[in-house]
Amino acid sequence: MNAAATRAAALLGALALWAAVAHGNAWLGVVNPVLLPTPGEVGRVGLELAWSGELTRHFLTSLGRVAQGFGLASLAALGLGLLVAMCVPLRLMAEPVIEFVRPIPPLAFLPMFLVWFGLGEASKIAFIGYTTFFPMFVAIAASVLRVDVVLLRAAASLGASRADLVRRVVLPAALPGIVVALRVGVGLALFVIVGAEFMGADAGLGHLIMEGRTFFNPAQIVMGALTLGLLGSLINTLLLTVERRLLRWRAAA
């Protein structure tokens, strides 16, 4: 059996298990069946939402926020990560600040973002940006610091200027670490988008889930969560494809 077939079988297996538990519960009445929707019920809600265009709207709204927040954060993390890693005085100044700020759970600052940026788009994008920036920045700076000094020496003795060193040695050498940092960042963005959309949003998958709670519609909550899973795996697949292309040289062996 090939890898794709194994994956499909695993997904079908999980679906079958869910169906068995939900239908078994409906049959035996262990808990109120409304609390444990079956795949069919969730599918029906999903179809209704898709038909009315609501699902697409929520999906694209969340995707847009993730893309903007994560996009800005990754550019900042890349630029500052390179700068801090390559400039010793900056690194000495940055380290204590980062060590203090980094362990604070991002959600602790969510209300602050609502106070600063209001209930609109800006607060969500800024919050995602803030959440994803630090881990990406730290990981990117670390991967730049790990670049083998012998490669820098080799390039310098071939005539590389400082700019050449950054562009032709530091960036490609740190690329595997940078890609890992970006994947961690995307994962985090999806993790916190829901929280950001729970409060004061009129669209987005987090809002869809919250609406499911308000109107007591567990099937809609599950539908929202599953769509988030789909969004996450789509982005991950995209990043893996990019990674495989960029890091062809590692797989060549």
Partner 1 sequence: MMARGPKIQIQRVAKSFGAPGRAMPALEEIDLDVAEREFVCLLGPSGCGKSTLLNIVAGFLVPTTGTVLVDGRPVSGPAPERGVVFQEYALFPWLTVTGNVEFGPLLQSRPAADRRRTVDRYLDLVGLSAHADKFPVQLSGGMKQRVAIARALANNPAVILMDEPFGALDAQTREVLQDELSRIQRVEHKTILFVTHSIREAVYLADRVVVMTSVPGRIKQVFPIKLPEVRDRFAHEFTRYESDITRVLREEVAKVRA
Question: 194: closest CA among 175, 213, 178, 181?
Answer: 213
Identify the residue among 86, 114, 166, 175 touching partner 1 (CB under 8 A): 175
- d(C-alpha 101, C-alpha 75), whole Å: 20
Q: Report in angstroms how near the CB of residue 228 gets to partner 1 at its nearest.
A: 35
Residue 116 sits in the site that holds partner 1 (CB under 8 A): no
Q: Among residues 165 and 199, whose Cβ is nearest to partner 1? A: 165
Site residues (CB under 8 A) for partner 1, limited to 65-104: none
What character string, x for contact with partner 1 (CB under 8 A) and - otherwise, covers 228-247?
-------------------x
- d(C-alpha 173, C-alpha 164), whole Å: 13
Residue 250 sits in the site that holds partner 1 (CB under 8 A): yes
Q: Report in angstroms how near the CB of residue 163 gets to partner 1 at its nearest.
A: 11
Question: 182: closest CA among 67, 65, 101, 59?
Answer: 67
Q: Report in angstroms how near the CB of residue 165 gets to partner 1 at its nearest.
A: 10
Question: 137: closest CA among 72, 68, 65?
Answer: 72
| Count of residues engaged in binding partner 1, rule: CB under 8 A | 24
| Residues present in the chain in total | 253
Q: Among residues 31 and 242, whose Cβ is nearest to partner 1? A: 242
Q: Among residues 151 and 180, whose Cβ is nearest to partner 1? A: 151
- Contact (Cβ atoms closer than 8 angstroms) between residue 189 and residue 128: yes
* DSSP letter string, 36-54: S--HHHHHHHHHHHHHHTH
Residue 172 sits in the site that holds partner 1 (CB under 8 A): yes
What character string, x for contact with partner 1 (CB under 8 A) and - otherwise, covers 139-158?
---------x-xx-xxxxxx
Q: Among residues 50 and 156, whose Cβ is nearest to partner 1? A: 156
Identify the residue among 71, 168, 198, 236 touching partner 1 (CB under 8 A): 168
* DSSP letter string, 63-103: HHHHHHHHHHHHHHHHHHHHHHHH-HHHHHHHHHHHHHHTT
Question: 195: closest CA among 243, 139, 131?
Answer: 131
Contact footprint for partner 1 (CB under 8 A): 148, 150-151, 153-161, 164, 168-169, 172-173, 175, 247-250, 252-253
